């Protein structure tokens, strides 16, 4: 359609496409027999796009089984990165629930009486380099353990409470060196049996999440490529099937854009419908894993709720499907339509 | 309407399809293009349609020098020309109506307008009652007339026909020729490639003859 301006040079009494005015439409037919007005042209463009989009869809629905199979491949290729992304999102949300930064746990001597432990933790409160100090007494520890493990009954058979009191510290300076210094310092105290840093665990979780992030990106890229190729190959076959039509259309003056359009819309529908199917598949997968995940969460006494796709993410998934479909179609069309020239 | 000056076409295989062809066909003329098969008739028509470019020489169609046209302008050039093929090139996946409407959809006509024009074209070839049928159900002669209806539906200034009566018996051929004469009476320039000399001699029209790529008769 962009070419009309180029051929507005005079050429005798030939057809004058875009120069025509609205008045020409009402002018006698004989004189204005080849004229198509600008307004009619733009209307025609929109009408043709709408018509082509509808026709592309109905053509896909005319062959439901092959279409469904292609869509299933596309949907699965889009679902896999979607699910991996969701898994990461949930792991991130879960790790947020361990509020705050790394902590230091001081396991006190089991023989230390409760009031001694109390006095010890109050002394720590005075220190400037600690943000928070929390004492978990022997009794509290026992209570928590019973509740969390479900093994509480065991203690009915054991004399007394074997658990030590624990003081959980949150240092002001949370760098690895500062934490290590604190560990050395507290290890030397007679009340403390053992010092445990959870900094390693936090570091490892962060590293794990980073690796998983990267894997999602790489796999997502590969699967996007798969979508591109599946759409491209399917469109190539469709082009081959409609070779006669393309030849005739070129002979009666169809522009490349006009010929490309139905195939681009086919790619568009593959992308959109594949994306929709992927959203449904992800939703279905979530339903399947919610039950066991909730049981697992229940064991950890957490109020965590499994997160699904947000509306934004649904839109992004559909948009990527659409874009990949269009791009796949554009690739196939660019490559194969040039090969079909009337001879 | 058509002007060839010193046009040659050599294919990459080394075959010379046309050698130094000169002729001109005025606006509103009707001419036959004859010659044995392989004499270059189809090549000449393909050059006018810009399905191919000449190796040398210049071609003018409707005042436009074809060698100056860019690829992107070819579709608009083709819309001014109605082509009729020997093998009619109809699409069997759609009705007669939709076959004829294709050039109008491509040119961006309004839907109401398309209906009117398609029926007018069908009326001219005398097949108005067949618009809803699939062309595969029609006889060869009827298919050829549908092909002609598609060529004229755009009301082209120039009609090119490549062996339009190739597969038809003499009676049907004469009928097809009468159609072309009628379009010509309405002012359309017509160029018909044909080797049916008997039929051509009956018609008493200008004849262009090609022999081994050279034009030996200008009419």
Q: What is the pLDDT of residue A264?
A: 95
Going by pLDDT thresholds of 50, 70 and 90, the confidence category of residue A204 is: confident
Going by pLDDT thresholds of 50, 70 and 90, the confidence category of residue A96 is: low
Residue A187 maps to a domain: yes
Q: What is the pLDDT of residue A171?
A: 83
Total number of domains constituting chain A: 2
Q: What is the pLDDT of residue A152?
A: 63
B132 touches chain A (CB under 8 A): no
Task: Please say if the pLDDT value at position A227 is more than 70.
Answer: yes
Q: Which of B36, B42, B25, B82 is nearest to B206 (CA)?
A: B25
Helix (H, G, I), strand (E, B) or coil at A162: coil
Residue A212 maps to a domain: yes
Nearest Cβ partner of B102 from A13, A36, A248?
A248
Average the pLDDT over A100-112 and give the result.
80
B150 contact residues in A (CB cutoff 8 A): 252
Average the pLDDT over A222-234 and give the result.
94
**What's the pLDDT tens digit per position in B64-85?**
899 888 888 999 999 999 999 8
B70 touches chain A (CB under 8 A): yes
**What's the pLDDT tens digit per position in B127-153?**
999 989 999 999 988 999 999 999 999
Angle at A148 between CA A142 and CA A151, to 5 degrees: 70
Same domain assignment for residues A191 and A114 = yes
A253 contact residues in B (CB cutoff 8 A): 75-79, 103, 106-107
Same domain assignment for residues A91 and A108 = no
Average the pLDDT over A176-193 and give the result.
84
Q: Which of A164, A197, A230 is the last residue of a domain?
A: A197
Residue B178 CA to residue B175 CA, distance in Å, equals 5
Residue A25 maps to a domain: no
Task: Please say if the pLDDT value at position A4 is more than 60.
Answer: no
**Left, alpha or beta for B39 (phi > 0: left; psi -120 to 50: alpha)?**
alpha
Same domain assignment for residues A165 and A313 = no
Going along chain B from its start, the domains and CATH numbers come out as 1-80+156-219 (3.40.50.300), 92-154 (no CATH)
**What's the pLDDT tens digit per position in B155-212?**
999 999 998 887 788 888 888 888 899 999 999 999 999 888 888 888 888 999 999 8
Same domain assignment for residues A264 and A136 = no
Residue B193 CA to residue B196 CA, distance in Å, equals 9
- Residue range of the domain that includes A212: 46-96+205-336
Q: What is the pLDDT of residue A16?
A: 44
Q: Which of A175, A197, A219 is the last residue of a domain?
A: A197
Nearest Cβ partner of B107 from A14, A36, A244?
A36
Same domain assignment for residues A224 and A159 = no
Residue A26 maps to a domain: no
Whichever domain contains A112, its CATH number is: 3.30.70.3040
Residue A116 maps to a domain: yes
Task: Please say if the pLDDT value at position A147 is more than 80.
Answer: no
- Residue-averaged pLDDT of chain A: 82
Task: Please say if the pLDDT value at position A100 is more than 70.
Answer: no
Helix (H, G, I), strand (E, B) or coil at A301: coil
Structure tokens at B11: 């294919």
Same domain assignment for residues A180 and A209 = no
Q: What are the helix (H) ranges across chain A?
A: 22-26, 38-62, 64-96, 114-125, 138-149, 176-187, 199-241, 243-251, 256-299, 311-336
Per the listing, tokens 């349609």 go with B49
Same domain assignment for residues A88 and A131 = no
Same domain assignment for residues A217 and A89 = yes
Average the pLDDT over A146-169 and give the result.
76
Same domain assignment for residues A243 and A188 = no
Residue A85 maps to a domain: yes
Same domain assignment for residues A177 and A271 = no
B9 contact residues in A (CB cutoff 8 A): none
B136 touches chain A (CB under 8 A): no
Same domain assignment for residues A71 and A120 = no
B53 touches chain A (CB under 8 A): no
Q: Which of A263, A286, A36 is nearest to B113 (CA)?
A: A36
Q: Which of A163, A197, A231 is the last residue of a domain?
A: A197
The distance of B159 to chain A (nearest Cα, Å) reads: 12
Same domain assignment for residues A61 and A186 = no
Residue A310 maps to a domain: yes
Q: What is the pLDDT of residue A7?
A: 42
Residue A39 maps to a domain: no
Contact B75 A15 (CB under 8 A): no
């Amino acid at each position: 359609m962009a070419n009309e301006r180029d051929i507005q040079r005079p050429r005798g009494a030939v057809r004058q496409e875009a120069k025509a005015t609205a008045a020409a439409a009402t002018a006698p037919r004989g004189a204005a027999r080849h004229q198509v007005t600008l307004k009619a042209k733009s209307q025609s463009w929109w009408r043709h796009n709408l018509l082509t989009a509808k026709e592309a869809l109905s053509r896909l629905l005319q062959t439901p089984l092959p279409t469904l199979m292609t869509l299933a491949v596309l949907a699965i290729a889009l679902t896999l990165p979607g699910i991996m992304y969701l898994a990461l999102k949930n792991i991130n949300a879960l790790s947020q629930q361990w509020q705050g930064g790394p902590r230091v746990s001081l396991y006190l001597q089991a023989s230390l009486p409760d009031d001694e432990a109390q006095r010890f933790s109050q002394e720590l409160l005075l220190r400037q380099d600690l943000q928070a100090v929390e004492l978990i007494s022997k009794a509290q520890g026992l209570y928590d353990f019973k509740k969390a493990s479900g093994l509480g009954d065991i203690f009915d058979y054991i004399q007394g409470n074997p658990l030590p009191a624990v003081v959980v510290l949150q240092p002001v300076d949370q760098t690895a060196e500062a934490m290590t210094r604190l560990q050395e310092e507290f290890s030397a105290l007679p009340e403390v049996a053992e010092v445990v840093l959870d900094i390693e665990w936090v570091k490892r979780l962060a590293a794990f999440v980073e690796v998983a992030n990267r894997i999602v990106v790489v796999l997502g890229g590969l699967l996007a490529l798969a979508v591109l190729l599946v759409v491209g190959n399917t469109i190539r076959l469709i082009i081959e099937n409609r070779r006669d039509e393309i030849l005739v259309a070129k002979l009666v003056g169809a522009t490349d854009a006009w010929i490309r359009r139905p195939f681009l819309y086919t790619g568009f529908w593959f992308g959109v419908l594949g994306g929709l199917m992927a959203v449904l598949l992800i939703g279905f997968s979530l339903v399947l894993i919610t039950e066991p995940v909730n049981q697992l969460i229940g064991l950890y006494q957490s109020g965590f709720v499994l997160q699904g796709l947000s509306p934004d993410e649904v839109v992004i998934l559909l948009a990527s499907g659409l874009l990949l479909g269009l791009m796949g179609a554009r690739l196939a069309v660019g490559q194969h339509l040039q090969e079909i020239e009337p001879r | 309407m058509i002007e060839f000056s010193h046009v040659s076409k050599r294919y990459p295989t080394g075959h010379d399809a046309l050698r130094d062809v000169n002729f001109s066909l005025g606006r509103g003329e009707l001419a036959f293009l004859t010659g044995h098969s392989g004499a270059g008739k189809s090549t000449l028509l393909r050059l006018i349609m810009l399905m191919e470019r000449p190796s040398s020489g210049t071609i003018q169609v409707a005042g436009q020098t074809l060698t100056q046209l860019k690829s992107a302008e070819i579709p608009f050039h083709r819309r001014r020309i109605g082509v009729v093929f020997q093998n009619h090139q109809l699409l069997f996946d759609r009705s007669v109506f939709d076959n004829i409407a294709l050039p109008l959809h491509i040119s961006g006509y309004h839907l109401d307008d398309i209906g009117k024009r398609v029926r007018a074209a069908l009326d001219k070839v005398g097949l108005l009652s067949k618009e809803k049928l699939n062309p595969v159900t029609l006889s060869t002669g009827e298919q050829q007339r549908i092909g002609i209806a598609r060529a004229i539906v755009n009301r082209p200034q120039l009609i090119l026909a490549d062996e339009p009566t190739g597969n038809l018996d003499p009676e049907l051929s004469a009928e097809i020729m009468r159609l072309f004469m009628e379009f010509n009476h309405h002012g359309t320039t017509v160029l018909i490639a044909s080797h049916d000399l008997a039929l051509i001699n009956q018609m008493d029209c200008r004849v262009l003859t090609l022999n081994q790529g050279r034009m030996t008769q200008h009419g």
